[in-house]
Amino acid sequence: MATQTTTTRMLEIGNGRAPVEVWEAGEGADLVYLHGAGGLMPDDRFFQALAGQFRVHAPLLPGYGNSEGEDALKDMLDTTLHTGDVIDALGLTGKPLVGHSMGGMIAAELAALAPNDVEQLALIAPAGLWLDDHPVEDLFAKLPFELPALLFHDVALGESLMTAGLDLEDPEFLAAFLITSARRLGMAGKLLFPIPDRGLRLRLYRIKAKTLIVWGESDRLIKPLYGEAFAAAIPNSELKMVPEAGHLVTHEKSEKVVDAIATLVNAA
Partner 1 sequence: MKFTWFNLMPWPHLPEDFRETHRSVWVDIPSSLYDPVKGHEVYNTYLDQLEYAESLGFDGIGVNEHHANAYGLMPSPNIMAATLARRTSKAALVVLGNSIALYNPPIRVAEEFAMLDVISGGRLVAGFPVGTSMDTNYVYGQIPALTREKYAEAHDLIMRAWKEDEPFSFNGRYTQLRYANCWPKPIQSPRPPVFIPGGGSIETYDFCIENDYAYSYLSFTGYKRAQLLMDGFWDRVDEMGADRSPYRAGFAQTICVAETDAEAKELYAEHVNYFFNRCLHVYPGYADAPGYRTIKTIKKGALSQYTRSSLGALGKLTWEELVADGHIIAGSPETVVRQMKELITGLKVGNIFCLLHIGNMTNEKTMLSSRLFAEEVMPHLQNMWPEWEHDERFWIHPLEDRLEPTVPLATAGGTV
Chain residues binding partner 1 by CB under 8 A are 70, 74, 140-143, 146, 175, 178-179, 181-190, 193-195
Query: How far is the C-alpha of 198 from the C-alpha of 217, rounded, in Å?
Result: 25
Shorter beta-carbon distance to partner 1: residue 21 or 24:
21
Closest CB 2 distance from partner 1, rounded Å: 36
Shorter beta-carbon distance to partner 1: residue 118 or 191:
191
Closest CB 253 distance from partner 1, rounded Å: 28
Count of CB atoms within 10 A of residue 66's CB?
Answer: 14
Shorter beta-carbon distance to partner 1: residue 177 or 203:
177
Count of CB atoms within 10 A of residue 262's CB?
Answer: 18
Closest CB 177 distance from partner 1, rounded Å: 11
Closest CB 61 distance from partner 1, rounded Å: 13
Closest CB 260 distance from partner 1, rounded Å: 32
User: Do residues 28 and 261 lie in contact, with contact meaning Cβ atoms separated by under 8 Å?
Assistant: no
Closest CB 115 distance from partner 1, rounded Å: 28
Shorter beta-carbon distance to partner 1: residue 62 or 216:
62
Closest CB 45 distance from partner 1, rounded Å: 24
Shorter beta-carbon distance to partner 1: residue 61 or 233:
61
Shorter beta-carbon distance to partner 1: residue 97 or 151:
151
Shorter beta-carbon distance to partner 1: residue 8 or 181:
181
Asked, as a colleague might, if the bond just before 171 is cis with ω within 30 of 0, I would say no
SS3 labels along the chain: CCCCCCEEEEECCCCCCCCEEEEEECCCCEEEEECCCCCCCCCCHHHHHHHCCCEEEEECCCCCCCCCCHHHCCCHHHHHHHHHHHHHHHCCCCCCEEEECHHHHHHHHHHHHCCCCCCEEEEECCCCCCCCCCCCCCHHHCCHHHHHHHHCCCHHHHHHHHHCCCCCCCHHHHHHHHHHHHHHHHHHHHHHCCCCCCCHHHCHHHCCCEEEEEEECCCCCCCCHHHHHHHHHCCCEEEEEECCCCCCHHHHCHHHHHHHHHHHHHCC
